Amino acid sequence: MPDLSFLAAHDLAVYSEASCPDCVRLKRWVTQHDVRVKEILLEQHPEAAEKLERETGKMAVPFILVDGRTWVRGYHREHPTRFSEELLLSELRAAIGS
């Protein structure tokens, strides 16, 4: 089990879609590791989809907005399972500056 204490004091908003397999994988990881996040479903919040595209240049999900400032992808296209805990934690640490 990885040490996720570095996430405790940060606001994590997961931008996702209910029918997205990559989103389901990230949500499963978040739940298994008891990481506190706010989920923003794009189908319920069209303005969030516009914000995601405007700020990242992408329409893909899931993305995590860290402290309202830095975007981190929640999928890893280059990984065989499309999700890598190691990559996710590395990118979250970089976004937080720890």
Q: Give the model confidence (pLDDT) of 28-48 as tens digits.
A: 999 999 999 999 999 999 999
Domain covering 5-96: architecture:
3-Layer(aba) Sandwich (3.40)
Domain ranges for the chain: 5-96
Question: What's this model's pTM, rounded to 2 decimal places?
Answer: 0.94
Residues 6+ apart with CB under 8 A from 2: 33, 85, 89
DSSP 8-state code for residue 31: H
Q: Quick one: pLDDT at residue 98?
A: 63
